[in-house]
């Protein structure tokens, strides 16, 4: 993991946030390559979930919502962690984690903590357990008083539920149908960590699929398989992924069933990457109760009013970025030329082409003006469609290595022969095979390679 953290910073993928001020814990900024990469992850998700389906539509709800939303959702009352303070060193701990570490049941309920459990750092006595709400609070308007208090959303799902009827009616949807959304969510975690695995500000890719109650099991199973297939299609091997069904004590009280897709992260081992949840009719029922609005669906064929059940698919954009990055990173023996053979290893980022931040690098063999002109014309013909990068500094071997490190699938080299035969050399990141391609055909060539 440390290797990936420093690699991600060095190559412009992910920086510690506000680093010049010493950073802010577990908060990260996506750099020039990171933002391209993450956008590609989100685009791939949207394509699979919305664009290539007739039964799912998109939504972009506001981060700030009416505060009653979070009473209805149960977050005000129940979205808490049980915390204890060390009376000696003042460090704060998750009571359930301390129990887990002692091999005791992790399904901690508030109450007195076992006297044998002391501060793991200093051995000090611990305070009684308090429930700490994970929602970030802020105030609307000029006056900081309780009536103006609102929350930064701790999940995107509620923005979908409160818009259920707006979407269903404006888009003339019949069950089953889904609403998909990508957006930021915020949780004041006491123990974030493992790089971008758990951060206080994060981005979710969620989809809520509304179904008839009797259809829930069927759609749960099909969504489970589809979400797993998405990660496989984008290059993560089966051996590093698995399903894990939540046990009864892990389930939220309203949830009928929950299955995680887990990835085998370094240090952590298999941990959550995505989830599929049967949320029953709980969410819409609660919003109906708290809003006083009728949120029932009317089934015309059966002449029946009822609250739909929901199958939720939940993926973390940052966790997906982390898994794809970890998985693509490979250190190989020197492979790109002898001109500066001092280095012993090279890095190749074997990202799926759809996810690679830069698709094509354009590398004139020298800084001669004649080569620059041809190279720039080629880049201009390609950048309308794809992210490209122009690099004319250093030996060609060094430039290939730079592109391999950031996962660029193709490099185009313009040499002096190009001026005569109007061809360029295209090099493949993974096979390192080189091919001469007519400049006039270059767009079609990449259209085919990158489709």
| Residue ranges that bind Zn ion, judged by CB under 5 A | 86, 88-89, 91, 119, 121-122, 124
| Residue 358 per-residue DSSP state | -
For the CA atoms of 90, 93, 99, 102, the dihedral, rounded to the nearest 10 degrees, stands at -70
Q: Minimum Å distance from CB 121 to Zn ion?
A: 5
Distance of CA 83 to the CA centre of its chain: 28
The smaller minimum CB distance to Zn ion, of residues 96 and 155, is found at 96
Q: Which residues make Cβ contacts (< 8 Å) with residue 385, sequence separation at least 6?
A: 443, 446, 447
The smaller minimum CB distance to Zn ion, of residues 86 and 310, is found at 86
The smaller minimum CB distance to Zn ion, of residues 84 and 196, is found at 84
The smaller minimum CB distance to Zn ion, of residues 121 and 339, is found at 121
Distance between CA atoms of residues 406 and 346, nearest Å: 12
The smaller minimum CB distance to Zn ion, of residues 122 and 332, is found at 122
Distance between CA atoms of residues 222 and 217, nearest Å: 9
The smaller minimum CB distance to Zn ion, of residues 91 and 240, is found at 91
Distance between CA atoms of residues 27 and 25, nearest Å: 6
Q: Minimum Å distance from CB 85 to Zn ion?
A: 9
Q: Minimum Å distance from CB 312 to Zn ion?
A: 39
Q: Which two tokens stand for residue 224?
A: 């489970």
The smaller minimum CB distance to Zn ion, of residues 98 and 179, is found at 98
Q: Is 195 exposed, middle or buried (0-12, 13-18, 19+ CB in 10 A)?
A: buried
Q: Minimum Å distance from CB 210 to Zn ion?
A: 48
Q: Where are the beta strands (DSSP E) in 72-230?
A: 80-85, 92-94, 130-133, 137-139, 149-151, 177-186, 201-211
Taking CA atoms, 192 is separated from 119, 184, 187, 234, 402, in Å, by 19, 16, 10, 27, 32
Q: Minimum Å distance from CB 117 to Zn ion?
A: 12
3-state secondary structure of 12: coil
Q: Minimum Å distance from CB 91 to Zn ion?
A: 5
Q: Minimum Å distance from CB 93 to Zn ion?
A: 9
3-state secondary structure of 207: strand
The smaller minimum CB distance to Zn ion, of residues 124 and 235, is found at 124
Q: Are strands 360-364 and 388-390 parallel, antiparallel or unpaired?
A: parallel
Token pair 């700490």 is found at 132
Q: Minimum Å distance from CB 126 to Zn ion?
A: 8
């Amino acid at each position: 993991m440390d290797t990936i953290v420093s690699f991600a910073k060095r190559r412009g993928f992910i920086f510690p946030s506000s680093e010049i001020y010493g950073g802010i814990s577990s908060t990260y900024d996506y750099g020039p390559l990171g933002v391209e990469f993450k956008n590609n992850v989100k685009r791939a998700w949207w394509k699979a979930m919305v664009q290539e389906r007739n039964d799912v539509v998109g939504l972009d709800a506001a981060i700030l919502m009416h505060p009653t939303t979070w009473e209805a959702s149960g977050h005000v009352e129940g979205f808490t962690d049980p915390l204890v303070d060390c009376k000696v060193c003042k460090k704060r701990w998750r009571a359930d984690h301390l129990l887990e570490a002692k091999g005791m049941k992790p399904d901690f309920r508030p109450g007195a903590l076992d006297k044998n459990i002391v501060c793991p750092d200093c051995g000090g006595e611990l305070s009684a357990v308090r429930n700490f709400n994970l929602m970030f609070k802020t105030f609307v308007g000029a006056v900081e008083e309780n009536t103006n208090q609102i929350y930064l959303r701790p999940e995107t799902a509620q923005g979908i539920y409160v818009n259920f009827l707006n979407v269903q009616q404006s888009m003339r949807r019949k069950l089953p149908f889904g609403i998909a959304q990508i957006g930021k969510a915020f949780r004041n975690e006491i123990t974030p960590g493992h790089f971008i695995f758990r951060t206080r500000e994060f981005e979710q890719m969620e989809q809520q699929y509304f179904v008839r109650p009797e259809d829930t099991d069927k759609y749960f199973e099909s969504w489970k398989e589809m979400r797993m297939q998405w990660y496989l299609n984008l290059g993560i091997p089966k051996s590093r992924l698995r399903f894990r069904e939540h046990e009864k004590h892990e389930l939220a009280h309203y949830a009928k069933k929950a299955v995680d897709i887990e990835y085998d992260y370094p240090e952590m081992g298999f941990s959550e990457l995505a989830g599929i949840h049967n949320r029953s009719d709980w969410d819409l029922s609660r919003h109906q109760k708290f809003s006083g609005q009728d949120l029932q669906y009317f089934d015309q064929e059966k002449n029946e009013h009822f609250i739909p059940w929901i199958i939720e698919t939940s993926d973390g954009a940052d966790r997906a970025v982390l898994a794809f990055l970890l998985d693509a990173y490979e250190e190989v023996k020197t492979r790109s030329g002898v001109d500066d053979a001092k280095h012993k290893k090279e890095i190749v980022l074997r990202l799926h082409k759809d996810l690679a931040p830069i698709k094509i690098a354009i590398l004139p063999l020298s800084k001669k003006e004649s080569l620059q002109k041809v190279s720039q014309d080629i880049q201009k013909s390609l950048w309308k469609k794809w992210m490209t990068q122009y690099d004319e500094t250093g030996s060609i071997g060094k430039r290939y290595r730079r592109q391999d490190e950031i996962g660029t699938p193709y490099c185009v080299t313009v040499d002096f022969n190009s001026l005569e035969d109007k061809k360029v050399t295209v090099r493949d990141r993974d096979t390192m095979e080189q091919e001469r391609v007519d400049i006039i055909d270059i767009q079609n060539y990449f259209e085919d390679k990158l489709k």
